[in-house]
Amino acid sequence: MKRLHLALLLLPSSELLADTLDQALNLPDVVISANRQVQARNDSSAANSVFTRDDIDRLQPSSVTDLLSRVPGVQVAQTGGRGSLPGIFIRGTKAAQSLVLVDGQRIANATSGDSGLQFLSVDQIERVEVLRGSRSVIYGSDAIGGVIQIFTRRNAQSGIHPRLHLGFGSNHTWERSLGLSGGDERTRFNLGASLDETQGINWTHESFASDGDHDAYRNQSLSLNLSHSLTDEVEVGFNLLDGRGKSEYDNPFGRFISFTETVGQKPYTDYTVSSASGYVDAKLNERWQTRVELGHSENRDTKRDDLSDSYSAFNTYRDSVNWQNDLTLDGRNSLILGADWYEDRVRASTNFDQDSRWNRAVFIQHRFEAEAFSTELGLRHDTNQQFGSQNTWSGTLTVPLNPDNDVLLSYSEGFRAPSFNDLYYPGSSNPDLKPEHSKSYELQWRSQLSDTTRLETSLYRTDLRDAIVAQPVDFYIPHNVASARINGFEAALKQELFGWQGNLGVSFIDPRDRDSGHTLARRARRTLSLDLDRQFDRLGLGASWQAVSTSYDDEENAHRLAGYGLLGLRGSWALNREVMVSLKVDNLLDKAYARAMYSYQDPGFEVNQRYREEGRVWMLGVTWTPEI
């Protein structure tokens, strides 16, 4: 790891700009998201997990959430099959308290806070990084539980490289994608397109006749990356990801005519999740590197119904500017100086009292490295048009016990600005809401136990205050009334034995509402994920095991979700240098399980059911990468 860090520092300036980022995206032992710069994973103060494109091809996930469920400390509460809304809980925090980025751009819907991860095509992704723990000093609002950053497909090689993938599987699922990448010493590009379709499953138990159908899903995705080195010290680039399609779902509560009469529905969502950015990256001298990035993202959600004229639209648009300066002061001291600005705009079928707001921020982070220890101190100041000023800071002390063992002690603050729904949704909002706040304490131990064994552990506590909740007793008007504390332990073990590569992740959390003492909803106290893989010449074999303990679907802990275990098998066969055949079977034991419920109670009408998940499913694929 130390050799990797030295190699990154010693790269010539032309390679630093033209090659480091593209090549770093293929390296499992570096992280980019922690400080918005390439650094060795072991040098980062953030507990992190990384999936490269090689990992994605080996694991054969059907979605981004399949990858995330392998990360210790991350739980996914899906509300049905493919294309359904996932709740992503990092270290016990709720989905809206974690930041999701695509190529550095925020993609969350500014009304609901949902990021649309279920609508991102895995084939258009080069790399996924997950930071566990608050990173508000670097990223500002929403980064309380952590940060998920997705990098779109890139090209790190010269020449022209086409690719084609076809897949077919259970529930009439089709995967089709094609791409073309190429470049030379100065210019690199990647263009990709995909179409995923599935007939799906019935997500809910039948409440109305219209609920008995399968809920289909369709996704069309396009990605483009282009970079060009104007000189040895200056690079410009452009990134684009656009995903759009249709996702059917069930409304088990029907459409209300009166308190005792309802009719069925066949609703669906037309969605778009897109992100575009352009940047200039320049090495001004041996000590100063600067980057300016302009971005635009859109999250559009239109809900319709085949059995009625029901219609609603919630579209949000975001423009952003980021300027970051990385300064090497001397051999021991380095500095990050930056400024952020972004503006959210809402265009919806519902009229909001306010439909736009801006946020601007400045931040600074200092790193000191000595032989016996290193420190990292950061401070950020945000000014928001709606909630005013906010200061956050963080600090980390790293002590290397020996060349193979490091201990890190960290403190970090975080906050989350209320969403437009929280503040302005007609009839169920509160414009006087304050931001949610957090304080986190963490102890990490990172150890290279042997040449083939790597262990990373974290013991942490997060205190939440001013949490926003909307309860029936308050007529679902949100208030800053809740507080919570989350204690947790997580560990990631990477082991190679007899040619098999094993990756084990375990997590134990105790997420409590301070006022009631109840366990926070949809958070299991214990999770385990295990992947085993081995390559036999041209044959690759792998297996996955995921175990999740019991949880509760509601804050009152009245509705219990049973624990479950899932087994998956996968394999790949290289017919030659150009053609690869892959096959996987998920949920091999055909386990019936649920990760979320839908509940409603009203005079003469009550629903308490579990969302269905897919049973045993298989997928057969062929990938062709012709050499030109």
Q: Answer yes or no: is 354 within a domain.
A: no
Q: Which 3 state secondary structure label does DSSP give 356?
A: strand
Q: What is the largest CA-CA distance in the chain?
A: 74
Rounded Cα gap, residues 86 and 596, in angstroms: 9
The answer to whether position 256 is within a domain reads: yes
Using CA atoms, how far apart are residues 279 and 272, in angstroms rounded to an integer?
23
Q: What is the CATH number of the domain that holds 525?
A: 2.40.170.20
Radius of gyration, CA atoms only, the chain: 24
pLDDT of 185 reads: 87
Does the residue 21 lie in any domain?
A: yes
> What are the φ/ψ torsions at residue 20 (nearest 5 degrees)?
-55, -50
Q: Are strands 74-78 and 579-586 parallel, antiparallel or unpaired?
A: unpaired
Percent of the chain with pLDDT over 70: 92
Whether residue 220 is contained in a domain is answered as yes
The two counts, helices (H) then strands (E), for the chain are 7, 37
Whole-model pTM: value is 0.94
Structure tokens at 412: 């970090």
Residue 353 included in any domain: no
Tokens matching residue 143: 């980064």
47-51 β-sheet, strand order: 47-51, 125-132, 146-152, 98-102, 105-106
In this structure, the number of other CB atoms found within 10 A of the CB of residue 226 comes to 17
Domain count, the chain: 1
Closest C-alpha to 508, from 207, 43, 35, 91: 91
What pLDDT was estimated at residue 480?
A: 87
Q: Is 109 within 8 Å of 301 (Cβ atoms)?
A: yes
**Is residue 551 domain-resident?**
yes
Asked if residue 497 belongs to a domain, the reply is yes
Low-confidence ranges of the chain (pLDDT < 70): 1-20, 206-211, 252-264, 472-475, 600-607
**Token pair belonging to 584:** 């996987």
Quick check: is 402 in a domain?
Answer: yes
Q: Residues with Cβ < 8 Å from 96, sequence gap 6 or more?
A: 108, 113, 114, 142, 416, 419
Determine the Cα–Cα distance for residues 301 and 117; give it in Å rounded to an integer: 13
Q: List the domain range (segments joined by +) for residue 146.
A: 2-348+359-624
User: Who's near 46: CB < 8 A, 6+ residues apart?
Assistant: 31, 34, 131, 132, 133, 135
Please name which of 615, 592, 551 lies closest in space to residue 77, comparing C-alpha atoms: 551
Phi/psi of residue 458, each to 5°?
Answer: -140, 135
